[in-house]
Amino acid sequence: MVKLAKIAFAAALLIGSAANCFAADKSPIVVEIESPLASPHPLQGYLRQTTDAGPSPAVILLHSCNGNWQRTDERWGKRITEWGYVTLTVDSLGPRGIDSCHRALKFLVRLPSVDPARVAVLGFARGGATALRAVEHGPFEKTSPNKFGAAIAFYPPCSSFKGYMTAPTLILIGELDDWTPAEECRNMVDGQDAWGISRQERGAPVKLIVYPGAYHAFDAPGPKNPIEGHHLEFNQSATDQSSEALREFLGATIGAKEQLP
């Protein structure tokens, strides 16, 4: 009996040490967004929790077409959590696209640590297009039982969007982007289609920030190797400015606890 008590005590110490270690480095937790039985490749994600008591606002992150969700989490998930938001970086958009986004939202709003009324979606390139689609007025947004409070898109392809959004939207793109041209996003924000025809539809405000001298994937450090003939290049100034713009936008829309009035 004494021996069992000692084992239990030692186990408690180990568990306590692990918990303290987790709290210190704020490491992400790999979570199943949907049941492993739901698909041959069920959705997973990196979940980062805040240290705040009570429900917090949250941000879903959708990676670009390169599929590197770990780097997206390291670059942005970690940073956004430090601002006071729960983050969930989805591992793959896959062929389901927008459905993956809505499944991630459905998963997050069930967590007691998340305020379901304050969840934003943030995407990069193709993930940015999915973020825009999630809040664009239309069948995808209408059929989702849960709604996003804001959307952010880094260098998304804008040509297929009408700009009629149901939630405040922020688009961040480089002036020299030759993969997803900034001009297409300007047209969308100005209410013009690919033919230059103005549209009368109006919705939630859409803010566009274009960074001079910046190319596609300006926030991703790495080699400057072209992909499919397109120029990719890291830009520290654009990255820093976009980080400030993102934090300000999140604070104004879904607001971390310390930023609320």
Q: In angstroms, rounded to a whole number, what is the distance separating the alpha carbons of residues 27 and 149?
A: 26
Choice between 99 and 40, residue whose per-residue pLDDT is larger: 99
**Tens digits of per-residue pLDDT, 22-75?**
333 468 898 888 766 556 667 889 999 998 878 999 999 998 766 577 889 999
Q: Name residues whose C-beta falls within 8 Å of residue 214's C-beta, 6 or more positions apart in sequence.
A: 173, 174, 175, 176, 177, 233, 235, 237, 238
Q: For residue 121, how far is the Cα from the chain centroid?
A: 5
The answer to whether the CB of 190 falls within 8 A of the CB of 151 is no
pLDDT bucket at 203, cuts 50 / 70 / 90: confident
* Structural fold of domain 29-256: Rossmann fold (3.40.50)
Q: What is the predicted pLDDT for the residue at 52?
A: 84
Q: What is the predicted pLDDT for the residue at 70?
A: 84
**Tens digits of per-residue pLDDT, 115-173?**
999 999 999 999 999 999 999 998 778 888 899 999 999 999 999 898 899 999 999 99
pTM to 2 decimal places: 0.83
Q: What is the predicted pLDDT for the residue at 255?
A: 92
Average pLDDT on 70-94 reads: 89
Choice between 100 and 150, residue whose per-residue pLDDT is larger: 150
Q: What is the predicted pLDDT for the residue at 205?
A: 93
CA distances from 238 to 55, 174, 179 (A): 32, 8, 17
CA distances from 158 to 13, 22, 44, 64, 237 (A): 53, 40, 27, 15, 23
Q: In angstroms, rounded to a whole number, what is the distance separating the alpha carbons of residues 217 and 233?
A: 6
* DSSP assignment of 93-148: -GGGTHHHHHHHHHHHHTSTTEEEEEEEEEEETHHHHHHHHHHBTTHHHHH-SS--
User: Domain-by-domain residue ranges, the chain?
Assistant: 29-256
Strands 29-32 and 44-48: antiparallel
The answer to whether the CB of 216 falls within 8 A of the CB of 178 is yes
Residue 157, CA atoms < 13 Å, CB-side half-sphere: 9
Q: Is the pLDDT of residue 226 over 80?
A: no
Listed residue (241, 235, 231, 187) closest to 209, CA to CA: 241
Q: What is the predicted pLDDT for the residue at 261?
A: 44
The answer to whether the CB of 77 falls within 8 A of the CB of 85 is no
pLDDT bucket at 77, cuts 50 / 70 / 90: very high
**Tens digits of per-residue pLDDT, 173-197?**
999 999 999 999 999 998 765 555 5
